[in-house]
Amino acid sequence: MSDTTAARHRPARPAAGTPRGSREPAGGAAPDRRPAPASPDPGASAPGSPDGASDPDTAPGASDAPGSPEAPGADALGSPDPGAAVRRYRGRVAGIDVARGLAVLGMFCAHVAPRDPGDPVVLRLLVTASDGRSSILFALLAGVSLAILTGRNVVYEGEQMRTARLRILGRSAMLVVIAGLLVSLGTSINVILAFYAAWFVAALPFARWPAARLLRAAAVLSVLGPLTAVGVMWLAGSLGMWMTGDANSFIVEVFFSGAYPGASYMVFVLAGMGIGRLDVTSTRLQVRLVWVGGLLAVLGYLTSWCLAQVVGLPTEEGIEPWRQVTIANGPTTGEGLHWTPLPLPALADLVDAGAHTGTVLETVGSGGCAVMVLGLCLLAGGWARHVLRPVAAVGSMALTAYSAQFVVVAFNEDWLVAQDWAPFAWLALGAMAGTLGWGLVARRGPLEWVMWKVSLAAART
């Protein structure tokens, strides 16, 4: 009997006693065709999601030991093996909790850590690594979450996909509500949640795409996306168009003119979806994520440095202040459109790879860093039960931890201009202690529970 024939006769359900974190037959097991419940397992949360989104294939407490066997039917690059059935990996991927926790703690560092040139080199590197790259890691994990919610490495079909999409829409709506509440606190920290919600919705048309197609799309968008954002803002500013200011400009804000423009950040979402469509429990894939991410980081940053030696250093205005100038040049009510061409950014600004520049080279370099960090966290997933447990706890309740930061800072606005590391220490240690303690009495953080309930209600519509 050939491997393919054997796969068709393989039982659909695992035998009694199958451990958590095992993989279920998902392609060639015809005998038991029961669909997954319309409301996925309420006892688990999707790795990579900031809202603790429930995932149909997650078993609470399951971990991703680095040495777990690879799923038959696909190699670490997602290439199908025609001689074996593809199995969906199961269980909570603890390494992604660690990565999500690092993203949240990195945002704390970017927001309240001091920029003191007299600090030790290690602390200055920590601030540099956190600034801009934490939000990119967050976006990459958003894509991983979307892939997991829509079937992991075996894409859902029919009613399962419809349910998953409705739940994602429900979460997106709730993220916008929470974002509005956080903005109303009046801190000067940029809130990423509404952008995050928009990226979730924008990615839904690609939910059925396989890994290779998603990764190719991310590669193309890494060049076209940043250039399109610059072009749109230049054209809008030259025409005197008002590109921000109220709810009617929401789409323009989240994709072009905002702090986290989706034209660039969708690169990371699509790349994360592509990674999530592979077997992230495969050690071989995890290692490849590390070295591929490292190569992309070197490519982006080294190319930027080399070009800077030719075209010069970035200007004082830079590419981001130039975008703000285009916004400021918008017309007052009643003036209408007018053509006043704005100067284009200097070439030195277009090849800069600094944080939040939104250039092609920053997208490649910082995106590579995020992929490398994800690979390292997946490899270290086995430590999430002891050494890295505090960080993983923050990642398992990322929405609550991230939002709590705004409440704390609202009462301590001077933390944003802190001259020492005490504010960061309070936020980081408080988040780790709080999530660890809450995890002893509840499966989900407070806001994660709300998101879960809203997503269930959305799936019933």
299-329 pLDDT tens trace: 999 999 999 999 888 876 666 555 555 555 5
Longest distance between any two alpha carbons in the chain, whole Å: 77
How many whole angstroms separate alpha carbon 191 and alpha carbon 183?
7
For residue 253, give the 3-state DSSP assignment.
helix
Name the amino acid, one letter, at 109: C
Indicate whether 43 pLDDT > 80: no
Angle CA 19–437–97, to nearest 5: 50
- For 452, phi then psi, to 5°, come to -65, -45
Q: What is the pLDDT of residues 371-403, one digit of tens each?
A: 999 999 999 998 988 999 999 999 999 999 999
Structure-token pair, residue 420: 């020492």
Per DSSP (E only), the strands in 295-428 are none
Of the candidate ranges 40-54, 280-294, 395-409, the one whose mean pLDDT is the lowest? 40-54
Count CB-CB contacts under 10 A for residue 179: 18
For residue 151, give the 3-state DSSP assignment.
coil
Half-sphere exposure of 348 (CA within 13 A, CB side): 11
The pTM assigned to this predicted structure is: 0.81
How many whole angstroms separate alpha carbon 166 and alpha carbon 459?
5
Closest CA to 111 of 377, 359, 428, 323: 428
Indicate whether 45 pLDDT > 50: no
Closest CA to 435 of 424, 449, 446, 426: 446
Structure-token pair, residue 195: 């952008």
pLDDT at 77: 47
Indicate whether 58 pLDDT > 60: no
User: What angle separates helix 446-459 from helix 158-183, to the nearest 10 degrees?
Assistant: 140
Angle CA 169–97–124, to nearest 5: 110
Closest CA to 196 of 284, 260, 246, 264: 260
Closest CA to 283 of 212, 136, 382: 382
Mean pLDDT throughout 52-81? 38
Closest CA to 375 of 287, 294, 272, 300: 287
Mean pLDDT throughout 277-292? 96
Closest CA to 236 of 226, 248, 244: 244
For residue 355, give the 3-state DSSP assignment.
coil
Indicate whether 64 pLDDT > 80: no
Mean pLDDT throughout 19-43? 40
Integer CA distances (angstroms), 219 to 132, 158, 266, 457, in order: 20, 29, 11, 36
pLDDT tier at 92, thresholds 50, 70, 90: confident
Q: What residues have CB less than 8 Å from 64, skipping those under 6 apart?
A: 21, 91, 92, 93, 94, 95, 280, 281, 378, 381, 382
How many whole angstroms separate alpha carbon 298 and alpha carbon 304?
10
